[in-house]
Amino acid sequence: MALSRSLAVSLAILVVLLWWAPTTHARRSDVRIITDGNWKELLEGEWMIEFYAPWCPACQNLQPEWESFAEWGEDLEVNVGKVDVTEQPGLSGRFIITALPTIYHCKDGEFRRYQGPRTKKDFINFISEKEWKSIEPVSSWFGPGSVLMSSMSALFQLSMWIRACHNYFTEDLGLPVWGSYTVFALATLLSGLFLGLCMIFVADCLCPSKRRRPQPYPSKKLLSESSQPLKKVEEEQETDEEDMSEEEAASKEGTNKDFAQNAIRQRSVGPSSATEKS
């Protein structure tokens, strides 16, 4: 009997433990995991988001407080989430994470950085008493959804992709480090040449050079208009030539008259001088 009772007690304890384990596991799921795929959910409703890294000691100390605060999320009508920056480098660039852990409050797309004490009680008071209203929100230029931050996120993702490729070249393919750098240098040069050619082609299409522009044929109106001043110039030249010819003719006549008068005078003077000599 004693053995049966002990077995029954042990079985009951085992059942209680098995029942309690999934409930505790469900409580931990109150903190939602935010990734590049679902981060736009932060733009709706009220959120508290923690950016952390598994290797960060301060982040590890904060986890129990953050988990217990998440249990109050339903009562406070606030969503609690966290982002692992080692797994989501794009989000770390989108939110400009420079220190760990970093906590943001979001209300209908407006982001504010939380800089108060990091305890469960302080988190609850921050939401219940609406202390976030005293904090100036992040400018729209630097908001996570802006073009600037989207490009920053793309750069962070590109850097992680380059790092993954470098590890693949050196670890999986067995290339030396200088060989991996050579591959990236050649890829950079080729991509730069390709982009330069594309830009030149686009610029040539949008703004063609004057030499290559087809010259339009002159129309009849343009020919007639351009021929009119030429005709005027020719007419003026003809009138000038006529005036010159008239002046020359007049001057010739004048010289002929003078020559005839001088000849007559010389003839008249000749006989008179002969009579005087005789």
The residues carrying an active-site annotation are 56, 59
- CA distances for 231 relative to 7, 139, 209, 219, angstroms: 129, 72, 36, 18
- CA distances for 94 relative to 101, 145, 148, angstroms: 16, 8, 9
CB 16 within 8 A of CB 121: no
How far, rounded to the nearest angstrom, does the alpha carbon of residue 201 sit from its chain's CA centroid?
Answer: 20
Residues sharing a CB contact under 8 Å with residue 119, sequence separation 6 or more, in sequence order: 65
Residues sharing a CB contact under 8 Å with residue 113, sequence separation 6 or more, in sequence order: 102, 103, 104, 105, 135, 138
Residues sharing a CB contact under 8 Å with residue 46, sequence separation 6 or more, in sequence order: 77, 78, 79, 105, 106, 107, 108, 127
CB 104 within 8 A of CB 79: no
CA 7 – CA 153 distance, rounded (Å):
59
